[in-house]
A and B are shown apart, each in its own frame.
Chain A
Amino acid sequence: MNFQPIDETSPDQLALEIKGVSKAYSRFPALNNVSLQARDKEFLALLGPSGSGKTTLLRVLAGLEKPDAGEVRFGGEDFLALPVRRRRVGMVFQHYALFRHMTVAQNIAFGLTVRPASERPAKSEIDDRVAKLLALVQLDALGGRFPSQLSGGQRQRVALARALAIEPRMLLLDEPFGALDAQVRRELRRWLRELHDQAGVTTVFVTHDQEEALDLADRVAILKDGELVQIGTPNEVYDNPATPFVFDFLGPSCRIPGVVDSGQLRVADWESAAAPGAPTGAVELFFRPDEVAFAPADGLGLPMHVQGFAQRGPDVRIDCRIGDQAFELQCRGDDLPPGVSVGSEARVRPMRPQVYAA
């Protein structure tokens, strides 16, 4: 995958610019001063819990919602001044919004057939394009079916083909895998990424599934309560979560209070050098339950009292207490130091902890 950071100095590469977009509903702000950019052909994920404003932002891009303030430019053009039908964005709706009374082929052809006569391709050309798109989404034989006769995954691919038929300048996907079961979801994910690389369209997709976002996107924008919390490549955001929320949201996490004083981090009776730039005073230490190293009771690390093990294959789950807090840690069986058994004391050291002001 492609983890190149955006080169801010070459604006010609920028496709999408969102500047200070705000949208308030009567009771709360859905989007609060959100700014971000996407490079040409980039695959950008909008990640956040429900109510974070990610879908609203996507609908603003599509033209389905009008922001109260802010700017949206695409290829340098003022996007907000364009009505939906002139934006030429391919939108894939969460529930697909297939035209239920049209066949699959008619659905895909729709965007071409509604063009004004002067721009409309000839009938044979439309048929041709539909056939190609059907092949692209691997539904060659199903052009004559109606949406109600398709499975969820097939509908999703029809929706995608329909969006691609208008040769969109930008592809927008709203929870593209939300309504599918886990197996289909994983298959489609890989397929979608390949499709994107092949089609080379700037793509923005909304998801609440961090695994999906990290796995699929070139960059991930994380939203919370209508605000952009962090944006970066999957590695950047995973390795350096900007806030406890991001840390928590991107994967399983453990937190434990501590103190940073003159460059030293102290948690329980364990002291170590605080990372440069860490806040001082009362802090919270965050770490992933599977990024830990164990040591005997007289070694280095947080003192833990082992309460139980559960082994599944080579992986071991350790139920333990650190101070008066309960934790579930993960490790490979071979990483466990000898002598660690139920009821014993040991030490555990977070490998890549993050420290946030408490």
Chain B
Amino acid sequence: MMRAIRLPGAAPLMLALTLAVLGVLIVLPLGVVFQQALSKGLDAYLDPLKQPDALAAIRLTLTVAAISVPLNAVFGVMAAWAISKFEFKGKSLLITLIDLPFSMSPVVSGLVWVLLFGAQGWFGEWLIAHDVRIIFATTGLVLATVLVTLPFVARELIPLMQDQGADEEAAALTLGAGGFTTFWRITLPNIRWALLYGVLLCNARAMGEFGAVSVVSGSIRGLTTTLPLHIEVLYNDYDFVGAFAAASVLASLGLVTLVLKTLLEWRHAGELSAHRRN
């Protein structure tokens, strides 16, 4: 469908420039991660990953993601259902609000929780009096992560479900299906790939988030350091191989996400929202 444009000489030049830009700017950093991680050999690479701190960081990262991602997936489906299947006033304001976390600095997304629950936060005294920890604890990490990743699933589902309209659901109801059956058997199958796509992106961000969690974590080694924070700790200790080894784990996660995401775009283009179709 693509017809090469008639630009004698220009095409190879443009292609070379593009590859140079992408190579230097984007691919090179990825390569450096693995090169640095393996620079002292395989044992030096694997060793830091076996340390208790590293394992604890991996476990914490998985825990935080395992809590945040489902929460935002449910939110995304709820929000998309309300926004795409019903007409009500203030809809665009609602969409803007859902998008808001995208335009907030991650550090601010962490800061706001400290303002609420930190020692001098609005609820700080009460929390201390009742011996509840949010900041410098897993709860704080989850809250920060949930805020940062809030829009991901909703943003994938809203345009797709708006595209699909409510005709199929209406048809199901006229055929005698109840509300839950209609959602389960009509809506959900229609959005499953987009939902997966959103969850994938949400998860990648949840596991890789750095700024927001670094503000609420207090970086207590082995307790509140997620994998990205663990990288920082090692890096600041001048343990570069360790830092890059940990980074290589996250980079692999990023690559897997990228591959899965691309596969979804190729295989299920029609079932993702229009702007995801290649």
Residues of chain A having any CB pair with chain B under 8 Å: 62-64, 84-91, 93, 95, 97-102, 110-111, 114-115, 162-163, 165-166
Find A93's partner among B171, B177, B186 (CB 8 Å cutoff).
B171
- In whole angstroms, what is the CA distance A93 to B165 when docked? 13
Contact check, B177 vs A100: say whether CB atoms are below 8 A apart. Answer: no
Find A114's partner among B168, B175, B189, B190 (CB 8 Å cutoff).
B175
Q: What is the minimal beta-carbon distance from A74 to any residue of chain B, in angstroms?
A: 14
Q: Which B residues from 133 to 186 make CB contacts under 8 A with A?
A: 167-168, 170-178, 181, 185-186
Residues in chain A near residue B177, CB distance under 8 A: 85, 110-111, 114
Known: A85-B174, A85-B178, A114-B185. 5 other contacts (CB 8 A): A64-B174, A98-B168, A101-B190, A111-B176, A114-B172
Please name the residue on chain A nearest to B170 by beta carbon. A64
- In whole angstroms, what is the CA distance A51 to B32 when docked? 64
Residues in chain B near residue A84, CB distance under 8 A: 170, 173-174
Residues in chain A near residue B178, CB distance under 8 A: 85, 114
Secondary structure of the B contact surface, majority rule: helix
- In whole angstroms, what is the CA distance A132 to B82 when docked? 39
Please name the residue on chain A nearest to B191 by beta carbon. A101
Q: Which B residues from 88 to 108 make CB contacts under 8 A with A?
A: none
- Residue pairs across A and B with Cβ atoms less than 8 A apart, 18 shown, are A63-B173, A85-B177, A85-B178, A89-B174, A90-B174, A91-B171, A91-B174, A93-B167, A93-B171, A97-B167, A98-B168, A99-B186, A102-B189, A111-B176, A114-B178, A115-B176, A163-B174, A163-B175
Contact check, B170 vs A99: say whether CB atoms are below 8 A apart. Answer: no
Residues of chain B having any CB pair with chain A under 8 Å: 167-168, 170-178, 181, 185-186, 189-190
What's the count of A-B pairs with C-beta under 8 Å?
63
Residues in chain B near residue A62, CB distance under 8 A: 174
Residues in chain B near residue A90, CB distance under 8 A: 174
- In whole angstroms, what is the CA distance A163 to B172 when docked? 10
Q: What is the minimal beta-carbon distance from B224 to any residue of chain A, in angstroms?
A: 43
Residues in chain B near residue A114, CB distance under 8 A: 172, 175-178, 181, 185
Contact check, A101 vs B170: say whether CB atoms are below 8 A apart. Answer: no
Residues in chain A near residue B174, CB distance under 8 A: 62-64, 84-85, 87, 89-91, 163
- In whole angstroms, what is the CA distance A162 to B171 when docked? 10
Rank and list the top 9 A-B pairs by shortest CB-CB distance, nearest first: A111-B175, A97-B167, A114-B177, A97-B171, A101-B189, A91-B174, A84-B173, A85-B176, A97-B168
Residues in chain B near residue A91, CB distance under 8 A: 170-171, 174
- In whole angstroms, what is the CA distance A100 to B164 when docked? 10
Find A166's partner among B168, B176, B186, B190 (CB 8 Å cutoff).
B176
Residues in chain B near residue A102, CB distance under 8 A: 189
Residues in chain B near residue A163, CB distance under 8 A: 174-175
Known contacts A85-B176, A114-B176, A97 near B189 by CB under 8 Å: no
Q: What is the minimal beta-carbon distance from B179 to any residue of chain A, in angstroms?
A: 9
Residues in chain A near residue B175, CB distance under 8 A: 85, 110-111, 114, 162-163, 165-166
Please name the residue on chain A nearest to B270 by beta carbon. A148
Known contacts A95-B167, A97-B167, A100-B168, A85 near B190 by CB under 8 Å: no
- In whole angstroms, what is the CA distance A87 to B190 when docked? 26
Residues in chain A near residue B181, CB distance under 8 A: 114
Residues in chain B near residue A101, CB distance under 8 A: 189-190
Residues in chain B near residue A95, CB distance under 8 A: 167
- In whole angstroms, what is the CA distance A163 to B171 when docked? 9
Q: What is the minimal beta-carbon distance from B172 to any residue of chain A, in angstroms?
A: 7
- In whole angstroms, what is the CA distance A97 to B209 when docked? 41
Most chain B CB within 10 A, of A86, A88, A95, A114, is at A114
- In whole angstroms, what is the CA distance A115 to B185 when docked? 13
Residues in chain A near residue B173, CB distance under 8 A: 63, 84-85
Q: What is the minimal beta-carbon distance from A79 to any residue of chain B, in angstroms?
A: 13
Residues in chain B near residue A93, CB distance under 8 A: 167, 170-171
Please name the residue on chain B nearest to A86 by beta carbon. B176
Residues in chain B near residue A100, CB distance under 8 A: 168, 190
Contact check, A110 vs B190: say whether CB atoms are below 8 A apart. Answer: no
Q: What is the minimal beta-carbon distance from B180 to any residue of chain A, in angstroms?
A: 10
